[in-house]
Amino acid sequence: MSGYAEARLLRQAVGRGSIRFLQKPFPFALLEREMAAVLCEQGITSASRSGRPTER
């Protein structure tokens, strides 16, 4: 990260838990878990056969 204000704001938001951040390099399993958690929080439970998410 840089020393710019945006970087500081990003670190603060991550620290508060208001945004998710994956440190590179990360394993695919971690990406998969984080994506599932975000989709669950948004009320999206699974993908339909068309590949589009379905809502609860």
Output the CA–CA distances (angstroms, integers) from residue 47 to 12, 16, 43, 44, 55, in the order listed. Answer: 33, 30, 12, 8, 9
CA of residue 4 relative to chain centroid, distance: 23
Task: Please give the model's pTM, rounded to 2 decimal places.
Answer: 0.55
**Exposed/middle/buried for residue 34 (C-beta within 10 Å: 0-12, 13-18, 19+):** middle
**What whole-number distance in Å separates Cα of residue 23 and Cα of residue 26?**
6
Amino acid making up residue 16: R
Question: pLDDT tens, 8-37?
Answer: 888 888 888 778 888 888 899 999 999 999
